[in-house]
């Protein structure tokens, strides 16, 4: 950075280093607070610019003589790209992790002690080692420890969706270095998780910055699961052919199956889960970040910290555990601000599986299980809600909003039907069967009784003699499954995992059986096709972004992207680390003829202008 008479302000750093003219949302307030040495807790949605909230203070405080900023991140695999992006911007940064040799670590430690680094990335496990504690102590004694940035801070909370015990040890930072400011950042935390973060990390005196959780560019869609893989394939082929996306499945086996099926259908798809060798996981993650149009089929082992801006969809073939996990995972779509889809298929078995995992967890306390049941109920409520998805989602995080006009419920408002009589039949059948046999039975058997199917099992137990036998013949099995799923979601029926997933009545069922309350359900559960929807015009995000470019600009953009791909390969970095698509589009539209024409383009910082300016001009002038 060029020397000036006075130190550069945060806004100067934003422009000179990162190439942006203005802060977004609360970024400026956060940066100024941390630069002045204040502690901060930052909740900002994925793609909101959390990294700048500690990177700019790190540069400003280094310029003021405070030393290095230590960034604690749980993602060893992504440190390389994060540090590479800073190098591209002209910022001295490095990482310390288990992939390095002893010689490399020792050389880096000497660099630190010589005050040659602005940011150091390290995993939470590393921070708690005696060697690292000693290094931090030495830096502190020299006055060279400027700031601690705790990324993905929700990992400290057992109530969060990605609890990591090693984060608990990070309270030692405040205890050992009380005069060093800290900034804790996360994209997702409900009120309970947020309070736990504050207590566990000793951030009671920190200033809280809570951004809107709204991601208006994401369209939320939840469909009733019929043939999930077929539904997924139809969704991708009709709306996201050739585009990058993530598909989440619950089990490793399912991940492998779905990835294979997508490949067989001609898609570029890969599987990712914790059962794969670490080198293979790294290889596949690198391919996803560096190649266009790749679909990653994964368990939740994949995704935290993924900075790929052009993920156009996130799909769930299995229901997540809670809304925080759902929000965090869907937030990996559309980081560039262009239209993206969050699509989920769910059914009765998802409800059963999630409740069973909670109830059968041997390591969890009853208090923990109760909280997790409440979080699952909130997600079930979101799935069954007839209101705007965005209104319901934001309400969970304590934020009021108006209908978005963009989710499935807004675009195709679901009809509801008075299912009181159907609910009473189902609840009565569960009661009569248990009363007659002294034991409970599963969903399939109950629906056979309701529909009057004299199966061998029904006849064996004499359930064809029950008053409820055949009283539900007017509804198809798929309709009864929808009714049952929603009764479970409403807390009237539970599935007992300790008794072969049998059904049991809960206290709230009594009011329905007595006729004291009515039950309104989505019409879809009454038999409407899960895929019945109004036709919507589909315009790709790429098409929307490039619609304003003329033929010449589109040619320049194609050449710029090809050049960027070559540079990215040479530097072993994802293409978006060199320049984002938005920056290339702005360059292509401006048709620059001189370095002066490149100044002021968003994303074109001083270092990148110096490093790539002449090449960019050459590419733009090249005749096709």
Among 31-40, 285-294, 435-444, 492-501, the range with the most confident prediction by mean pLDDT is 31-40
Cα 407 from Cα 388, distance rounded (Å): 7
> Three-class SS of residue 53?
helix
Strands 502-505 and 311-316: unpaired
For the chain, the average pLDDT equals 88
- pLDDT of 528 above 60: no
The torsion angle over the Cα atoms of residues 556, 562, 568 and 574, rounded to 10 degrees, is 90
Average pLDDT over residues 190-204: 89
Residue 268 is classified by DSSP as -
Q: What is the mean pLDDT of residues 555-564?
A: 94
Q: 124-128, 456-460, 469-473, 584-588: which range is least confident on average?
A: 124-128
Cβ atoms of residues 488 and 423 within 8 Å: no
| Lowest mean pLDDT, pick from 155-164, 518-527, 533-542, 547-556 | 533-542
- For residue 536, give every residue at least 6 positions away whose Cβ sits within 8 Å of its Cβ, in sequence order, or none: 411
pLDDT given for residue 535 in this prediction: 44
Q: Give the per-residue pLDDT at 547.
A: 67
Mean pLDDT score, 123-151: 92
Q: pLDDT tens across 324-378, in order? A: 889 989 999 999 889 999 999 988 888 888 888 888 877 678 888 888 888 888 8
Q: Say which range, 185-199, 291-305, 525-539, has the weakest mean pLDDT.
A: 525-539
The structural domains of the chain, ordered by start, are 10-210 (3.40.50.300), 218-415 (3.40.50.300), 421-526 (1.10.10.10), 548-621 (1.10.150.80)
Q: pLDDT at residue 566 above 80?
A: yes
Please list, in sequence order, all residues whose beta carbon lies within 8 angstroms of the beta carbon of residue 574, skipping any fewer than 6 positions away: 81, 289, 290, 307, 308, 568
Residue 67 φ/ψ region, left for φ over 0, alpha for ψ in the -120 to 50 degree band, beta for the rest: left
- What local confidence, expressed as pLDDT, does residue 532 receive? 43
**Predicted confidence (pLDDT) per residue in 477-519, tens digit:** 888 888 888 888 788 888 776 667 788 898 989 999 988 888 8
Does 618 have pLDDT greater than 90? Answer: yes
Distance, CA of 262 to CA of 605 (rounded, Å): 40
Determine the Cα–Cα distance for residues 201 and 156; give it in Å rounded to an integer: 8
Interval 147-174 mean pLDDT: 84
Enumerate residues 6+ apart whose C-beta is below 8 A from 341.
218, 219, 221, 235, 239, 240, 312, 313, 314, 315, 333
Q: What is the pLDDT confidence band of residue 534, given thresholds at 50, 70 and 90?
A: very low
pLDDT at 30 over 90: yes
Of the ranges 29-43, 68-82, 518-532, which is most confident? 29-43
Please give the helix or strand (H or E) that residue 79 lies within, else none. helix 76-88
Per-residue pLDDT tens digits for 279-307: 899 899 989 998 989 999 999 878 776 77
Burial class of 342 by CB neighbour count within 10 A (0 to 12, 13 to 18, 19+): buried
Task: Calculate what percentage of the chain has a pLDDT beyond 90.
Answer: 58
| Helix (H) / strand (E) containing 326 | helix 323-330
- Tokens in use for 37? 């040495």
Is 50 exceeded by the pLDDT of residue 98?
yes
Res. 541 pLDDT band, cuts 50 70 90:
low
Q: pLDDT (tens digit, 9 = 90+) per residue, 578-598? A: 999 999 999 999 999 999 999
Q: What is the mean predicted confidence (pLDDT) over 28-35?
A: 97
**Predicted pLDDT at 560:** 95
Q: Which residue has the tokens 């082929």?
A: 237
pLDDT at 28: 96
- What CA–CA distance (Å, rounded) separates 507 from 338? 46
Q: What is the pTM of this model?
A: 0.83
């Amino acid at each position: 950075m060029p020397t000036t008479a006075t130190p550069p302000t945060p806004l100067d750093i934003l422009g000179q280093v990162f190439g942006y003219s203005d802060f977004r949302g609360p970024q400026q307030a956060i940066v100024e607070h941390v630069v002045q040495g204040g502690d901060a807790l930052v909740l900002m949605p994925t793609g909101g610019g959390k990294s700048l909230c500690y990177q700019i203070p790190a540069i400003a405080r280094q310029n003021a003589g405070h030393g290095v900023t230590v960034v604690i991140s749980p993602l060893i695999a992504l440190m390389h790209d994060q540090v590479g992006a800073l190098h591209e911007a002209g910022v001295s940064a490095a990482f310390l992790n288990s992939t390095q040799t002893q010689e490399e670590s020792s050389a880096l430690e000497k660099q630190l002690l010589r005050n040659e680094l602005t940011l150091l990335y390290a995993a939470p496990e590393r921070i708690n080692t005696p060697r690292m504690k000693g290094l931090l102590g030495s830096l502190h004694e020299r006055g060279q420890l400027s700031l601690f940035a705790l990324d993905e801070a929700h990992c400290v909370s057992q109530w969060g969706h990605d609890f990591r015990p090693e984060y608990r040890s990070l309270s030692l930072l405040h205890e050992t270095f009380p005069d060093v400011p800290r900034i804790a950042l996360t994209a997702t935390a409900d009120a309970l998780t947020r309070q736990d973060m504050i207590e566990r990390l000793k951030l009671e005196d920190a200033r809280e910055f809570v951004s809107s959780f709204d991601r208006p560019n994401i369209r939320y869609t939840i469909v009733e699961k019929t043939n999930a893989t077929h539904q997924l394939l139809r969704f991708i082929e009709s709306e996201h052919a050739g585009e990058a996306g993530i598909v989440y499945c619950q089990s490793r086996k399912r991940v492998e199956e779905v990835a294979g099926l997508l490949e067989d259908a001609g898609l570029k798809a890969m599987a990712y889960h914790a059962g794969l060798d670490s080198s293979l996981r790294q290889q596949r993650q690198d391919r996803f970040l560096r190649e266009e149009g790749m679909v990653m089929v994964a368990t939740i082992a994949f995704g935290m910290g993924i900075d790929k801006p052009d993920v156009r969809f996130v799909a769930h073939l299995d229901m997540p555990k809670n809304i925080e996990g759902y929000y965090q995972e869907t937030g990996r779509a559309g980081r560039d601000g262009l239209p993206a889809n969050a699509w989920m298929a769910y059914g009765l078995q998802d409800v059963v599986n999630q409740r069973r995992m909670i109830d059968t967890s041997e390591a969890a306390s009853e208090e923990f299980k109760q909280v997790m049941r409440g979080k699952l109920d909130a997600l079930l409520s979101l799935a069954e809600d007839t209101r705007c998805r965005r209104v319901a989602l934001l309400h969970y995080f304590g934020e009021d909003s108006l209908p978005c006009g963009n989710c499935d419920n807004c675009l195709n408002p679901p009809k509801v039907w008075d299912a009181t009589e159907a609910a009473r039949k189902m609840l009565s059948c569960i009661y009569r069967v248990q009363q007659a046999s002294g034991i409970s039975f599963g969903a399939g058997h109950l629906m056979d009784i309701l529909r009057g199917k004299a199966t061998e099992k029904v006849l064996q137990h004499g359930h064809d003699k029950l008053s409820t036998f055949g009283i539900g013949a007017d509804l198809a099995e798929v309709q009864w499954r929808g009714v049952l799923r929603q009764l479970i979601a409403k807390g009237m029926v539970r599935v007992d995992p300790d008794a072969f997933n049998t059904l049991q009545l809960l206290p709230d069922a009594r009011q329905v059986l007595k006729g004291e309350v009515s039950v309104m359900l989505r019409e879809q559960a009454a038999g409407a096709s899960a895929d019945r929807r109004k036709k919507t015009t589909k315009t790709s995000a790429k098409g929307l972004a490039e619609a304003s470019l003329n033929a010449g600009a589109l040619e320049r953009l194609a050449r710029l992207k090809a050049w960027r791909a070559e540079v990215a390969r040479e530097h072993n970095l994802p293409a978006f680390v060199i320049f984002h698509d938005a920056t290339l589009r702005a360059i292509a539209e401006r048709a620059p003829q001189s370095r002066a024409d490149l100044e002021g383009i968003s994303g074109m910082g001083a270092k990148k202008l110096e490093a790539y300016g002449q090449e960019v001009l050459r590419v733009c002038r090249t005749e096709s």
